A and B are shown apart, each in its own frame.
Chain A
């Protein structure tokens, strides 16, 4: 078991024939992901990486039965791509592209929600169910099958955490990189219950950062709804106020969005909060009580 994606998931790639799309689609195929085709307008009918290329998402869905789309189009085309996927009946869009304008994402997400399409990202490493299905840009080799679910705003911290969990002798059921933009798709609050209901997952690691209040919402939700142990790290305890730390959404405004505020809320909800990301692996071992 796992959440959202597994070895049977059929995936198309929007922006399939571009440089990034090609490179990462190939890596995903190597990992074993069922990439069944891709979309690049005006290249319909061609073949790429041994898979069919379509002009529209609608054609691709009709021909391949894909339910998930991995999006690699340039930033200003992201909203259009997301809305096209929603319109074509895609169930989950994984948006890798970094740099999409906030206004575009606002409209695209509202449209996706209206059409019942889930989204992950943008500006994220994607989603991976260990040893089954990788939809994104993460290095597949560090994800071993196991019983820890992972939700993270940061790409490289996801790798760091997974690596530590594996070194402790455990593994990852599914890891979801939710992205660090001001407007994102699935967040902790939607993903936590999925892990709670996944029989394979026994513990959950959540990695947050400064800015916004998604982690605070997550804390409230965990307190009331999550019985599995949760280990959390919040990046940016040493970040200065009012400065954007790499991610568009990683900024402390006034007294809101600080790491301390989030860590306190999570601790109060019974979450094991670690002060350094170097402690994640050990904390997971302790949480699993083994």
Chain B
């Protein structure tokens, strides 16, 4: 990633950077919230530890990113929103996470599939972002890359165990991949925000992350004896998706649960 090649005005780059960092933060926050639902529900004690550990890493990433997104926004608007303002006081349409991370934990295979597809993407992303021209983004990426490498490895091992386990586990894993697969496309779809930040050397071109992800996922599927699903990508109305705040119906419930206490006590400190 090199400098501001297309010479976009700085104000445009700043606006896009704030939006981009918010997306990264929302992905991490919602992925963490989904995993955290599984506390004391793992198939064995080791998984209770591992899933909580991953949820905690993602929450740590989310907090730094949301805090930074709030400060970038403040420079543009003069109004500061803290990490908690952003997490608890926005509605569904204002969240810009990819829809993949909000998909429910239907069974353990769905959790594994979602984590495999997402952390495969996150590792490509944070590897690229280590070279970001934005020091804070590069700093987050430097730490996150080690964490998501473990998340990806954890998910890949389970995908292989389930795919190459029993008949039941293989069927469940295949079904879970089918269910999650249609939401992977938007991880790699460029738009105005990603084009601007990529040109400025701040962000990564999502399309550029795809070959590495494809190769990794194909390798895991081959080892697991699973096939790449052929299900079509799900687009929102007018091609809008999570990045534009157009989500699945699942997100509203997730946010209702996550936000209600915070919202019941306006202005309180916790």
User: A and B, one complex?
Assistant: no
